[in-house]
């Protein structure tokens, strides 16, 4: 399957998830605190290269793939390359510099659920939301147990792996996932022409 086809399928999956999360948030009133980047400032975040294929493709079309790859390879931190703290004094305040191209875990965390050992769905979210939005969190948990639809981690990762089993099942540190995605795109187009319709991409 071509890079373009895989990128479209990943983007379609993410678009579907975005609709579901928007609906879930409107039903539960849960939301991240403005400017909070605590979960992004975590050096243990992992992802698959496939999640970053749209990002790598975007960089390639804009002539920035090799530049970003070099910057990622020279990083001295495990914090996500795209996370930009607002201040060195408080690294937990910040934002994502490539928000439309963020990973699946970044999309699901806070608004997705996983199954516990009893088969019950548990909302996977941060301590800040659990404590500072306790009323909404508790009512959301009850609503999920009573049938409110919530995106499920395993479902989305399974759908992702069906697009590209190899790239979708390699789980590595987030910067490594970006690196592998960019390398995949660069290698694919090393001896191929620019994708049709993208020749004049700015």
C-alpha span between 91 and 128 (Å, rounded) = 16
Q: What is the pLDDT of residues 176-185, one digit of tens each?
A: 999 999 999 9
Give this prediction's pTM.
Answer: 0.89
Please, what is the end-to-end C-alpha distance for the chain in angstroms? 25
The pLDDT of residue 175: 96
Tokens of 146: 């009573």
* pLDDT category of residue 5 using cuts at 50, 70 and 90: very high
Given a contact cutoff of 8 angstroms between Cβ atoms, the answer to whether 160 and 54 are in contact is no
Is residue 21 situated within a structural domain? yes
Q: How far is CA 121 from CA 10, 75, 115, 127, 140, in A?
A: 25, 37, 5, 18, 11
Q: pLDDT value at position 35?
A: 79
Of the candidates 147, 146, 144, which has an alpha carbon nearest to the alpha carbon of residue 112?
144
Q: State both tokens at 185.
A: 């795109």
Task: Name beta bridge partners: 31.
Answer: none
Which helix (H) or strand (E) element contains residue 113? Answer: strand 112-115
Is residue 65 situated within a structural domain?
yes
Domain membership of residue 145 (yes or no) is: no
Q: Into how many domains does the chain fold?
A: 1
Residue 123 lies in a domain: no
In a domain, 37, yes or no: yes
Would you say residue 50 lies in a domain? yes
Is 159 contained in some domain? Answer: yes
The answer to whether residue 197 sits within a structural domain is no
Per the structure, the complete domain to which residue 155 belongs is given by 3-109+150-190
Tens-place pLDDT, residues 29-84: 888 877 777 888 889 999 999 999 999 999 999 999 999 999 999 999 999 999 99
């Amino acid at each position: 399957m071509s890079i373009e086809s895989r990128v479209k399928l990943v983007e379609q999956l993410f678009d579907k998830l975005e609709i579901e999360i928007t609906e879930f948030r409107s039903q539960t009133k849960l939301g991240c605190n403005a400017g909070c980047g605590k979960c992004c400032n975590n050096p243990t975040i992992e992802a698959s290269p496939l999640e970053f294929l749209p990002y790598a493709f975007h960089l390639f079309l804009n002539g920035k793939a090799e530049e970003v790859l070099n910057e990622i390879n020279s990083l001295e931190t495990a914090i996500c390359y795209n996370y930009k703290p607002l201040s060195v004094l408080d690294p937990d305040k910040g934002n994502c510099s490539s928000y439309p191209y963020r990973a699946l875990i970044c999309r699901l965390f806070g608004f997705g659920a996983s199954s516990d050992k009893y088969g019950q769905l548990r909302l996977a979210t941060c301590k800040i939301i659990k404590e500072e939005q306790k009323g909404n969190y508790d009512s959301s948990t009850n609503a999920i147990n009573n049938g409110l639809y919530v995106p499920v981690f395993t479902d989305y990762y399974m759908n992702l792996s069906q697009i590209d089993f190899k790239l979708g099942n390699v789980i590595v540190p987030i910067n490594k996932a970006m690196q592998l995605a960019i390398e995949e795109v660069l290698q694919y187009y090393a001896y191929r022409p620019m994708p049709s319709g993208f020749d004049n991409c700015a």
